[in-house]
Amino acid sequence: MNTTTQIQIRIDTLTKRSVQLVLNELGLDLSTAIKILCKQIAATGTFPLELRDVNGFRPEQANVLRLAQRTARANRKSFQSTKALLREAMN
């Protein structure tokens, strides 16, 4: 017997509307998209999306950047760009 359960979430109105617009273009509703996400997590045992911060960095990249910033401050170094800071941090 296949039983179902209900999930209730809270999310701000603007995010919900933005997501609904995207999903409508894909022919999905919010409930179906959440079901797909949950089924993928169950099937793979992991989160099926690459998580990024507001700057577009993956968590490990953000950690490298934070460490490089701390090191640069401690050594009183400055960089012309984040790219230059990351380039040095990766060496």
* Among candidate residues 28, 6, 10, the one with its CA nearest the CA of residue 19: 28
- 48-91 pLDDT, tens digit each: 988 888 888 888 888 888 887 888 788 787 777 877 777 777 76
In a domain, 17, yes or no: yes
CB of 11 within 8 A of CB of 30?
Answer: no
Q: For residue 63, how many other CB atoms are within 10 A of its CB?
A: 11
**Coil, strand or helix: which one is 4?**
coil
> Residue 26 is part of which domain span?
13-44
Residue 36, amino acid: I
Q: Give the tens place of pLDDT for each residue, 19-55.
A: 999 999 999 999 999 999 999 999 999 999 888 888 8
Residue linked to tokens 């490298």 = 64
Domain count for the chain: 2
Q: What is the pTM of this model?
A: 0.59
Asked if the structure places residue 77 within a domain, the reply is yes
Residue 36 resides in a domain: yes
